[in-house]
Structure 1
Amino acid sequence: MVKLLTIVALACVACKLLAGRWPWELLAGDPRDRNEKKARNLLGLSRDAAYDDVIEAHRRLIQKVHPDRGGTNEAVHEANAARDLLLARLSDQRDS
């Protein structure tokens, strides 16, 4: 059992040295994809949402979470970050 744990530990260290990331980070996928998925879920959008869809979803969410309507500043910042991320991804796809 000790030999197996030693081999697993060495394999993890080798993966970190060669790929620059731990094995569990590699299995989790690209963090950018996770952030985009989180942003889409927050705004309630599908993968094929267009620029206008992102703007409209952001506007609706801001109306719900704005501090003047009982929301918080953190919720507004999250909504703005989600909008910015998705719009940046859309502009990157247009440029490609």
Structure 2
Amino acid sequence: MMKWLLAIGLIWLAWHYLRPKPKRVTLTDRQQARQVLGVGASADEGEIRAAHRRLLADVHPDRGGSAERSTEINAARDLLIGALRQG
């Protein structure tokens, strides 16, 4: 019994550390984030969220879209909304 548990634990550890990790997208430029979402410099939080929802509906991985593109869209939304809330 202990051998099986040890084997299962080792298999899980190998899978956990060796599986391909999703690439993190970090946008640092507000202009680049605005271009990703297609909003102007004077966009408020509602416009940013609406653009995010519209774009994500087309590229969401559950609907056959790209995980990298949806991550980029989420990062753009987070950057712009965070900048609005900071003032």
TM-score class, shorter: 0.5 to 0.7
Higher RCO, 1 vs 2 (CA within 8 Å, ≥6 residues apart):
2
- CA RMSD of the aligned region, Å? 1.5
Displacement of 1:71 in angstroms is: 1.4
Structure-2 residue corresponding to 1:79: 73
Q: Kindly indicate which of the two structures has a greater share of residues assigned to helix.
A: 1
Structure-1 residue corresponding to 2:12: none
1:48 aligns with 2:30: no
Q: Give the gaps of 5 or more residues in structure 1.
A: 1-30
**TM-score, normalised with respect to structure 2:** 0.65
Displacement of 1:68 in angstroms is: 3.0
Q: Give the gaps of 5 or more residues in structure 2.
A: 1-26
Structure-2 residue corresponding to 1:66: 60
How many residue pairs are counted as aligned between the two chains? 61
